[in-house]
Structures are given as C-alpha cells and as structure tokens.
Structure 1
Amino acid sequence: MTHPAAPVAVDPAATAAPPHPNQFALLRQRRFAPFFWTQFAGAANDNLFKFAFTVMVTYQLQVAWLPPALAGLVIGALFILPFLLLSATAGQITDKLEKTRIIRFVKNLEIAIMAVAAAGFVAESAAVLLACVFLMGLHSTLFGPVKFAYLPQALSERELTGGNGMVEMGTFVAILLGNVAGGLLVALPQVGHASVAAACVLLALAGRAVAQAIPPAPATDPGLRINWNPVSETWRNLRLAHGNIVVFRSLLGISWMWFFGAVFLSQFPSFAKDVLHGDEQVASLLLVVFSVGIGTGSLLCEVLSRRHVEIGLVPLGAIGMSVFAVDLYFASRALPEVPTMGLATFLAQPAHWRVMADLALLSLSAGLYSVPMYALIQLRSQATHRARIIAANNILNALFMIASAVLAGALLSAGFSVPQVFLFTAIANALVAGYIFLLVPEYLLRFVAWMLSRCVYRFRVRGEAHIPTEGAAILACNHVSFVDAVLLMAASPRPIYFLMDHRIFRVPVLGWLFRLARAIPIAPQKDDPATYDAAFERAAQVLREGDLLAIFPEGGITRDGQLQPFKGGIVKILERARADGLQVPVVPMALTHLWGSFFSRIEEGGAMVRPFRRGLFNRVGLNVGAPLPAHLPVQPEALRERVAALLALG
C-alpha cells in the first residue's frame, strides 16, 4: 500500500453534520447548495458566452483577422492561457485567504467582465469579446482552486465522493445548457446579440447573489507569503504536488482524462458531419449524450462506493473508457454514405443507437474514473497547501488539453479518420491507465477489493464508523479465508498494511496481490528469526507513520471455522509502539459467513477447490467494534473475547 499524506483537517461542522439519504440531499444544506449553484451559474455563463461568440464570428460577422475556421481554436486558446500563466498564483491566494471571500470577489469580477462583454456583443466588437474571453479564463483560473479546496472543508469523508459527483454532474449540465442557450440566443433575428448580452449579465448577477449565502471557509495557511512570479511558483507547485506520489500520479490521471475527453469533444462536429452524415442537430445530440453520460457516471460514484472515497472505481472507469471507445470505432467505421440527415432520420437508424450507446457508456465511464480521483486528491492533500495542489492540477490539465489538440491535429493531418483517432486514443488510454495502476498499485488493489465485495460476495459492513479516518491504529480480525485481507481493504476508506503469515504469499495470484499491497510477511521465530524480527520492525514503522496496521492474531486461517486462541504478537507490537511514544488504539473486527466459501478451508478438503461451493453473491459481513482505549493494556484473551462477541452478532 502507498503511504498517504498527512490527515486532512475537515471542518467540524461537516463532521458533525447529520447523515443524509444521498448526495441530492446536500442541495438542501447551506454548506453545499449555495456553492453548487454558484459554480453551476459560472460554468453555464462561461459556455454561453464562448459558444455565442464562436457562432457569431463563424456565421454572422466578417472579421478579416479572425477567419471562421480559426475562431474556435483562438477562443479556446485564449480561455485556457490564464490557467497556464496564473494557476499557481491562484492556488497561493486560495490557501492564504478565507475561501468565501475569494468566491465573492471572483463573482464580482465576473459581473464586471460580463458588463464589458455585453457592450461587445451589442457593438459587435470581436476585439472586445476576445479580451473578455481571456478575462473569463482568468475568472475560471481564480475559481478553480477554490472550487475543489472548499469541498473537503465543508463535507465529511463520507460525503466527499457524493459532493464531487454533484459538482461534476452540475458542471457538465451547465456546460451543456450554456452551449445550447448561447447557440439559440445568438441566432435570434435582430435581438440575438442583445439577448446574449442580457443573459450573460443576468447569469453573473445570479451567481453573485447565490454566493452571498456560502458559509465561511477559513484560510488553511494564512501566514503564507505569496510568490508573484508565476514561472517559479508553477514549478514549485508541481514539486509540491510531487511530494505525495499518490496525489501527484492522481493529478496525472485526471489530466489524462481531460486529454481523452478533449479528443472526443473537439471531434464531435467532424464526426457528426463526415462519419455519421448528420447535420448540426446531430452534432448537438453527441454533446448532449456525452454530457448526460458524464453526469450519470459522476452521480453513480456515491452509490457504487457506499459513500466512501472508493478509488477502486477508477480502473473500472478506465476499462469502460477504452472498451466503449474501441466499440465506437467498430460501430462507426462501416456506416454507409448517405445524404446529410436531420435528427429524426438519424435516430430512426438502428446502427446509430449503437453509436449513441457507446458514447453514453464511454462518458459514463469517464465520470466513474474522474470523481474518485478528485476526491482522493482532496482527501490526501495536506490542508495547508491543498489549493496549490489543485492549482498544479489545473496547470497539468491545460497542458494535457493542448497536447490532445496537437496530437489529434497531427493524426488527422497524417490521414487518420476520426474513428481511427478515437481508436488510437482508446488504445493509448489502456496503456496509460495500466502504467498508472502499476505505479500506484492502490488503485488496482482497491479495484480487486471492490469487485470481490460486490461481484463475488454480498458484503455488508456494520460499525464502519469505528474504523479511524486518521492516525495510527491496529485492526485485529479473525482469520477465516484467503481473501480476508481483500475484504478488509474494501471496508476501509484508508490504505491498510497487513501483517500476514509468510505462507500465504505462495498462493498463486493472491500471493502476487499481497506482495503488490506491500503486506508484511511474518514467520514463527523458531523457523525464521530474520523474517520474524523484520516483520515487527516494519509494523512499528507503519504505526510511526500514522497508518493502519491489520493483524490476524490467530496466526493462521482457521481449519474448523472456530475462533482460535490469539497469539501474543499484538502485545509485542503495542509495547514497541509505546516505546516509540505512541498511543495506538486497537479496533476489534469479525468477518462473518465466510466459513465454507470457496476461499476458506473446509474439513473435508482444502480451499479453492470447488469454485461454486456456495454459489455467487453469498452474504458475508464484517462487524467492527469500538476501539479499545489506547492507554490501557491489551491482553490477547480479552481481545479474543471482543472478537468472539462481534462474531456472535452474525
């Protein structure tokens, strides 16, 4: 397992918030709803403004120095330029100042920019509107770090995935609605430009009004001295992010998702026209399907993760992105040449429904991929420089999106068709995702744990609130099967280091998995003194670093289904921790209903010999008890009684 960053400081108000049924209930709470609608209005306004301007210079104005073919590229480049230049500065400001104050300042700035843009639309001045594109990029650059740094201060760990899913869904819905509204308003005869001007100003005013209700979010590093040199600070932010390797590689993973998505979004017009033989309405449908898919995948994250930050969904999303992108290539490469179709004719063709399904499932997978990564970065980044980490993410996102435009352009210039570009991107996604998961095996391990606990067993956890969300602790559990460690991984929101019998590492596949998880092998002292001593030294190091250590005090997997006597190793570990000045709580746990399953031993034979011994989707459980006080001595027999009592709960 990879070592996490320092514990995140969560606002006590968020931690103490009453439980709610699902992520939509956050929209009724002041700590989330005003923030959600503020970012929704901002995203909608960005895209309404940009798309209306793009349509205007493409179809309605004759601007000699801005040809229609280059308009979209120039507008996109100007909007993204501030992210490269000023994200580092924005991250510092967000860490130094109270976040609600920054949000309101940014919304005030948006009103001023949109007032100038309104004048530009009325006067039909492309130069003024291009300047406003850059300023709106600056507005988004300032808001970006606040957007993701605010959430971990307002939400608890169990709400973070759902909150990020809502924000991601809201952002893509806002992008969709902004584009649609911008295209419709600017096309209105005679009053189109004035309508866009009014809509931009009204959306900015609405966003500022809602922002007034956002509760305070204190500064996380008020003593920070701001470095105004964007070049040196950008490099410093990237090095700061690299200090936590899991977070940094997650930043790269998110940036890759933006690379992947930008390839598809940028090619929708050409794909609709040249491959699907559809008109502008078909191109708009592609955008609608993509946005709805992203939003749906984002919302599914909370359900599939059982309201934890479940990074096991990331490999699932990556697999879906590649599989459905490959199928999109096969679904679209053999479509016959036909006259340009309207929306109704397009939808009447059965072959096109496969294309739409691939696009929807591809974007849904992208939602599953990105939301847990965002939540992980927020959870694992140190609070004092979380906004600067997010600023580094924005810089990387911008670079990857620029790279995607360059690569897609190069492939098309080399004679690749649009479906072939999609296929190339799908294969590249599989290679990049595989590389990331090997570099950060926690993603792969969590994926295996997620699959086992949901697709092989029906896994239920009771008392999960007793698993510490920060600080060192020892998890003491009964040992029933060869996958006990994997199920404990699935139950914990944090990485766990396991102290395990050295013989289990000889089991095919599982042994490789446990080595990947950096489990600690232990052997009896009389058999292998070196391994025995090294195991206790490594266990002490895990606790010193503030991580979770799981042990199976029985010393081996039960052979009769009964709880075996506990050995004294846990006492030695606790004595070593106290010698290091640590007070470490012990959390008793009991795995239930695993005896007799495929991965457990049975009296008449060994484990893993009858695949469907009890069928699929067996009900298994984990009962977690209250931690034993850290200051009191722990006796193996007393701990065994605690675990036995948890077992009796069934």
Structure 2
Amino acid sequence: MSKHSQFALLTQRRFAPFFWTQFFGAFNDNFFKIALLTILTYDALNWANMDVDLLNNLIPGLFILPFVLFSATSGQFADKFEKGGMARKIKLLEIIIMLVAAFGWMSHNLWVLIAAVAGMGIHSTLFGPVKYAYLPQHLQTDELVGGNGLIEMGTFVGILLGEILGAMLVTHKPWGVELVAAGAVIVAVIGYLTSRRIPYSPAPEPELKINWNAATETVRNISFSKQNRPVFLSLLGNSWFWFYGAILLAQFPSYAKNYLHGDHSVFVLLLTFFSFGIGAGSLLCEKLSGHKVEIGLVPFGSIGLSVFGFDLYLSSVAYINTSGVDFLQFIDQTGSLRILFDIVMIGIFGGFYIVPLFALIQTRCDPKHLSRTIAGMNILNALFMVVASLSAMLMLKNGFTIPQIFMATAILNAIVAIYIFSLVPEFLMRFVAWLLIQTVHRVKTVNTDRIPLEGGAVLVCNHVSYMDAIVIGASSPRPIRFVMDHRIFKIPFLSWIFRTAKAIPIAPAKEDPWLMEKSYIDIAQALHEGELVCIFPEGKLTHTGDMNEFKGGIMKILERSPVPVYPMALRGLWGSFFTRDKGNPFERAFRRGPFSKLELVVGEEMAASEVTPLVLQAKVEQLRGDWR
C-alpha cells in the first residue's frame, strides 16, 4: 500500500482534473443558488410579486427534485458510457444553463432563473453517479479513503466559497447582478476546461440497456443493493447523514439571527466553521484509518454527531447575549467559542462518518452496478432531505425551539445509529478493534500491502496474546475469518467480537472431533468463496514468548483448498496485559505504559506446494526476529 500523503493525488492527472471539475461544479451550484436567494430576500420588490418565503422554499426544492426524477437514469448512463466523456458533456450542459441564467439575470426574468435552478439540479444529478464511481477506477484501495476525503473537503469548501461570494457579489452596487451572471458562466467554462484533462474511464457495462422508466429502475436499483446488506445499510447511513445535516444547516439562518442575535456575517461564520470541520474530518480519515477502508470510524463519527449535537443545545441555552452583533462582536460574547467548537466538531465527526461509508460502498459494491447504486443513494438522500425539512417544520409547529431541534436530532441520531449498527455489527466490531489499537498500542504495519485485495488465501501468524486477532483484523485492508481455539473464542466480550467477525472456533480431535471436522469444512467454504482465513498453527498461546511448534492443521487446509499462504509475525506484544506472561499483569501494563509499540510484519506469498509446518515456522520466526 502506498503511504504517501493523500495531497499527492492533487498533483496527478488521474485525480486532480476530476477533483477540480467537482470543486467548480459544487462552487457554481451554490454561487448561483445563494445569489438568487439573497437578491430575493433583500431586493424582492424588483424581482417578484410572490411571497418571498414561498420562493425561498421553492428554489431549494426545485434543485433537489431532479435527484428524485432523474437519478435512476443518470446512474445507468454512468455505467454504460465512458466517464471522462460523460463529465465533459455534463460540463457543457452547465455552460448552457449558466448562459440561460445570465439572460435571466440581465432581463430580470425570475422564471428563467428558477428554470436555471432546476437545470443545475439536473446537472448535479447527472454528475453525482460519475463522481463516486470514477474514484475506484483510478485509485488503489488504500487511496480510496484519502481520495474520498479530498473530494468531500473540496465539495464543502466549494459550497462555502460559492455561498459567501454569491451573497456578497449579488448585493454589490451597481454591478452585482452583472458580476454574478458573468462569474457563473466563467466558472462553468473553467469547470469544462478542467474536465478535458480527465483521463479515459472505461464503461463497466457498455452493453447495458437503458430503462427509461425512472420509477421501476429506482425500485430495481434499491432491490439489487439490498442483496448486499453492508452496502445497503451504508446507503441508508449515508442518507441519514444528509437528514442530520439538512436539519442542522436549515436552522442556521434563523439560529444566527434570532438566538445568537447576529447579522448575516454570523450566519456565514457558522457555515464556515461547519465546512471547515467537514473538510478537516474528511482529510483526517486517511490518517486515522491507516490508508485503508476503516469502517470502524463510522460509529466513532456517529458518537461525535450525537455528543456535540447535544452539547450545541446546551451551549445555545447557556448563551445570554441579547444585543445585535456582527461576527467579530459575536466571538467576544460569553459562550460563543463553545458554540463554534460544537459546530466544528459536528463537522469533523461528520467527516469521520461519511468518508468511510463512501469508501465501503465503492469497494464492496459490484463494479458493474456501482453508478446505479450511487444513483439510488442520491434518490434516498433527496427523500431523506425532504423528510428532514418536514420533520423540522413539524417540530417548529409543535413549539420546539431551534436549540431543542438540535437536541432532538442528536438523540434521534443515537437511536438510528444503535439500530443500524445492531443490524450490521461489523461496524461496531471494527470500531472496538480500531479503538483498542489506537489507545492500548501503537501498531506499525510492515508490508501489509502483500495481503491480497481479493481471492482466497491463508494467513499464518505466531500466537502471542488474546489481542492477536484484533490487531491483525484491524491492520488488514479486508475482512479476515480467524480460526482460533474454541476456549479463546468463548471469552466474555471478546467472544462477541469474534462472532461478529465470523471467526471459526476449532478444538483438538481428542476434545471435540465433531467441532474439529466442522471447522475444516467452514475453512474450505470460506476459501472457496474468496475470503481470507487466518490461522495460528501453534494451536495455543505462548507461555514464554518463544514460538511453539507449528502443528499440521495447515496441511489439512491446503489439501482441500490449495490457495496462496502468507506468513506473518507479531512482534512487541509479549509481556502486555493480554499475554500469558507469569508476571503481575497490572505491573506489566504499567511498565510498558500506554501506547506501547508493536508491529505486524507480512512475508512474501508462498504457493501451497511450498508449504510445510517446518518451513512456515522458519519463515515466521525470521519475520519476527529477536523482538518478542
């Protein structure tokens, strides 16, 4: 796996042109939309004779509507056609829409501008499936988290800059409208020019027959996604994030004005801190995940969304200023920094939540169906956002204050998270494993890129502690089926983790011959289905720190399933709290201190015909060296 910084992708043609195309698209969507909403709010008499509040709700709704109507079709396009060419055609469409909008600006024709809003919704609907299906074609698996993090960061920065500049320029006298009209066209042209550098991205299913019935295609997409439970629940988890974010962001204008007693600059400040948080959290995912798809970050992100969402309620109630302030005066108020801290932390944990979900969908979905799956997700996102709007309206109608809406959303997020993670306990299992190796140990991996990203294989490792399976599983780029002593498998709490990870308990023939035979059958089935299986050939934990003799079980496995074998070694775990060192365990833990170092080293692939217990033991001993 490459260990370079994710920012190196911004210098490479396989990523940079696509990143900037997406950035300018997100910028322009919001630059145009916010400029229109701002001019209707502050100069309504010169533009419309309709109710401004109605228009302020109609315009965002028209932008979202195409996601419901056309996502199913756009997903099919992205699976059927080459993505680079499709991106360029979408960017040409954006230029046409912005030219139409420019006519609307210059002629003061509100309905032309509203039509352009719907047009930009169509533009975003078409580009959405291309955006997330493009990345797995050009990035390695260990780059996906970093690439998705950059895309999310760029999207929210583009949204923020577009909103700020749109609101500022349109009210500029005397050339505000002209600046917005010209600026949107120029940005669209820049987006098209960057799209011309996007490399060739072959269609995964060029023979696909387009189903033009959006309703039946949507049902078919969602039904197909349901067959892969982790992917489908990741789609729901992603849509839930948009529900949470839609409720939160929709309250910011009134929250800034009526509760913080701030002017427009305070509203912009809240958006800035939230967008900064999302960007920072998205970028931090690569560091925290160790350059792999680490879904253990999803529960971590969900916990933060609830904790800091609830604290935003508490900090809002504690805010006592009642005089009008701008953003600088707001910062000087008692309690303002806590509010801003809560908002930025909600953004950071939102990044932890959303980026691994995207990466999981990209890596576990059928590549031929990925764009259509993303399209289905976009429909779910739009529906969840509509429900979020209706929920917020219902809460307000029933007397909820905006801080109470923050509290209710935080509590609801906790309930939804518990429900989803109970359905797919792999998320929580990976979170526990990630948390243990982040707090108890500092794990360094050596050559873990040798672990194959697909296909069946057997991993062989020395057995030092009760933590071995957790450390190896948390360091692997893909799930592993562990074969372990049935007594260790039954240890309270750890047993839940092992069961969730679908570990395979095994017993000696003299203890339980039926369980032993079942274990070999389960191992053969797992390898046949292309899964990774890890065994500890010593058969028991070491009592001295030295390796025990490797047993012959590996040969029985390879006789049934002649797959590649990868020797591995754990070093640095001996003497920790979880080993069988005869010394006082608490004294050992204190002596080693927190964040003690350990390493997992992966050796080169061995063919099944090369393997014997003696050869394997020698390989593992060589990898471990003198550091026990």
Q: State whether TM-score is above 0.5.
A: yes
Q: Does the Cα contact within 8 Å between 1:598 and 1:612 map onto a contact in 2? A: no
Residue 10 (structure 2) aligns with: 27
Determine the C-alpha separation between the residues in 1 that align with 2:190 and 2:518.
Answer: 62
Residue 639 (structure 1) aligns with: 616
Q: Kindly report which structure 2 residues correspond to 1:306-321, keeping only aligned pairs within 5 A, or say none.
A: 306-321=290-305
Q: Does the Cα contact within 8 Å between 2:537 and 2:551 map onto a contact in 1? A: yes
Q: Does the Cα contact within 8 Å between 2:571 and 2:598 map onto a contact in 1? A: yes
Cα distance, 1:190 vs structure 2: 2.6
Residue 75 (structure 1) aligns with: 59
**Secondary structure in structure 2 of the residue aligned to 1:333:** helix
**Secondary structure in structure 2 of the residue aligned to 1:561:** coil
Determine the C-alpha separation between the residues in 1 that align with 2:79 and 2:50.
Answer: 39
Q: In structure 2, give the amino acid aligned to 1:592.
A: R
Q: Kindly report which structure 2 residues correspond to 1:308-457, keeping only aligned pairs within 5 A, or say none.
A: 308-457=292-441
Q: In structure 2, give the amino acid aligned to 1:162.
A: G
Q: Does the Cα contact within 8 Å between 2:3 and 2:291 map onto a contact in 1? A: no
Q: Kindly report which structure 2 residues correspond to 1:52-91, keeping only aligned pairs within 5 A, or say none.
A: 52-62=35-45, 66-91=50-75
* 1:567 equivalent in alignment to 2:551: yes
* 1:465 equivalent in alignment to 2:449: yes
Q: In structure 2, give the amino acid aligned to 1:50.
A: K
> TM-score, length-normalised on structure 1?
0.94
Residue 574 (structure 2) aligns with: 595
Q: Does the Cα contact within 8 Å between 2:318 and 2:335 map onto a contact in 1? A: no
Q: In structure 2, give the amino acid aligned to 1:462.
A: V
Q: Kindly report which structure 2 residues correspond to 1:148-167, keeping only aligned pairs within 5 A, or say none.
A: 148-167=132-151
Q: In structure 2, give the amino acid aligned to 1:106.
A: I
Q: Does the Cα contact within 8 Å between 2:483 and 2:504 map onto a contact in 1? A: yes
* 1:47 equivalent in alignment to 2:25: no
Cα distance, 1:633 vs structure 2: 4.5
Cα distance, 1:505 vs structure 2: 2.6
Equivalent pairs, count: 626
Cα distance, 1:510 vs structure 2: 1.1
Determine the C-alpha separation between the residues in 2 that align with 1:636 and 1:59.
Answer: 79
Residue 648 (structure 1) aligns with: 625
Q: Kindly report which structure 2 residues correspond to 1:184-263, keeping only aligned pairs within 5 A, or say none.
A: 184-263=168-247
Determine the C-alpha separation between the residues in 1 that align with 2:602 and 2:588.
Answer: 30
Q: In structure 2, give the amino acid aligned to 1:634.
A: V
Q: Quick one: structure 1 residues 410 and 609, their matched pair in 2 at CA, closer, same or farther if it must change by over 3 Å? A: farther
Determine the C-alpha separation between the residues in 2 that align with 1:34 and 1:393.
Answer: 25
**Secondary structure in structure 1 of the residue aligned to 2:444:** strand
Between stretches 607-616 and 165-174, larger displacement belongs to: 607-616
Deviations 1:599-637 (A, max 9, x none): 0011346x689653522111111111011124x242111
Q: In structure 2, give the amino acid aligned to 1:615.
A: G
Deviations 1:86-116 (A, max 9, x none): 1111011100110001000000000000000
Determine the C-alpha separation between the residues in 2 that align with 1:190 and 1:123.
Answer: 16
Q: Does the Cα contact within 8 Å between 2:575 and 2:588 map onto a contact in 1? A: no
Determine the C-alpha separation between the residues in 1 that align with 2:564 and 2:513.
Answer: 27
**Secondary structure in structure 1 of the residue aligned to 2:611:** coil
Determine the C-alpha separation between the residues in 1 that align with 2:266 and 2:258.
Answer: 12
Cα distance, 1:480 vs structure 2: 0.5
Q: Does the Cα contact within 8 Å between 2:486 and 2:505 map onto a contact in 1? A: yes
Cα distance, 1:72 vs structure 2: 2.2
Instruction: State which of 233, 255, 273 in structure 1 corresponds to 2:257.
Output: 273
Residue 498 (structure 1) aligns with: 482
Determine the C-alpha separation between the residues in 2 that align with 1:221 and 1:122.
Answer: 44
Residue 621 (structure 1) aligns with: 599
Cα distance, 1:267 vs structure 2: 0.3
Residue 130 (structure 2) aligns with: 146
Instruction: State which of 149, 164, 167 in structure 2 corresponds to 1:180.
Output: 164
Q: In structure 2, give the amino acid aligned to 1:411.
A: M
Cα distance, 1:66 vs structure 2: 3.5
Deviations 1:59-94 (A, max 9, x none): 213366631112221111100111011111101110
Residue 107 (structure 1) aligns with: 91
Instruction: State which of 241, 264, 268 in structure 2 corresponds to 1:284.
Output: 268
Residue 463 (structure 2) aligns with: 479
Q: Quick one: structure 1 residues 356 and 130, their matched pair in 2 at CA, closer, same or farther if it must change by over 3 Å? A: same
Cα distance, 1:445 vs structure 2: 1.6
**Secondary structure in structure 1 of the residue aligned to 2:459:** strand
Residue 510 (structure 1) aligns with: 494
Q: Does the Cα contact within 8 Å between 1:571 and 1:635 map onto a contact in 2? A: yes
Cα distance, 1:433 vs structure 2: 1.3
Cα distance, 1:152 vs structure 2: 0.6
Between stretches 268-277 and 334-343, larger displacement belongs to: 334-343
**Secondary structure in structure 2 of the residue aligned to 1:500:** strand
Cα distance, 1:56 vs structure 2: 1.6
**Secondary structure in structure 1 of the residue aligned to 2:329:** helix
Cα distance, 1:506 vs structure 2: 2.9
**Secondary structure in structure 2 of the residue aligned to 1:422:** helix
Deviations 1:468-502 (A, max 9, x none): 11111111111110010000011101011111111
Instruction: State which of 522, 526, 530 in structure 2 corresponds to 1:542.
Output: 526
Q: Does the Cα contact within 8 Å between 2:44 and 2:52 map onto a contact in 1? A: no
Determine the C-alpha separation between the residues in 1 that align with 2:100 and 2:354.
Answer: 35
Cα distance, 1:382 vs structure 2: 1.3
| Structure 1 unaligned regions, length at least 5 | 1-14, 579-583
Q: Does the Cα contact within 8 Å between 1:600 and 1:608 map onto a contact in 2? A: no
Q: What value does the CA root-mean-square deviation take over the aligned residues?
A: 1.5
Residue 37 (structure 1) aligns with: 20
Q: Quick one: structure 1 residues 192 and 83, their matched pair in 2 at CA, closer, same or farther if it must change by over 3 Å? A: same
**Secondary structure in structure 1 of the residue aligned to 2:590:** coil
| Structure 2 unaligned regions, length at least 5 | none
Task: Work out the percentage of aligned pairs sharing the same amino acid.
Answer: 52
Q: Does the Cα contact within 8 Å between 1:57 and 1:126 map onto a contact in 2? A: no
Determine the C-alpha separation between the residues in 2 that align with 1:240 and 1:130.
Answer: 35
Determine the C-alpha separation between the residues in 2 that align with 1:459 and 1:66.
Answer: 62
Cα distance, 1:405 vs structure 2: 0.6
Deviations 1:435-467 (A, max 9, x none): 222211221121122112221101111111111
Between stretches 529-538 and 545-554, larger displacement belongs to: 529-538
Q: Does the Cα contact within 8 Å between 2:40 and 2:48 map onto a contact in 1? A: no
Q: Quick one: structure 1 residues 249 and 201, their matched pair in 2 at CA, closer, same or farther if it must change by over 3 Å? A: same
Determine the C-alpha separation between the residues in 2 that align with 1:107 and 1:365.
Answer: 32
Cα distance, 1:345 vs structure 2: 1.4
Determine the C-alpha separation between the residues in 2 that align with 1:506 and 1:305.
Answer: 29
Q: Does the Cα contact within 8 Å between 2:79 and 2:372 map onto a contact in 1? A: yes
Cα distance, 1:432 vs structure 2: 1.1
Determine the C-alpha separation between the residues in 1 that align with 2:219 and 2:229.
Answer: 16
Q: Does the Cα contact within 8 Å between 2:62 and 2:118 map onto a contact in 1? A: yes
**Secondary structure in structure 1 of the residue aligned to 2:396:** helix
Q: In structure 2, give the amino acid aligned to 1:350.
A: T
Cα distance, 1:311 vs structure 2: 1.3
Q: Kindly report which structure 2 residues correspond to 1:605-620, keeping only aligned pairs within 5 A, or say none.
A: 611-620=589-598
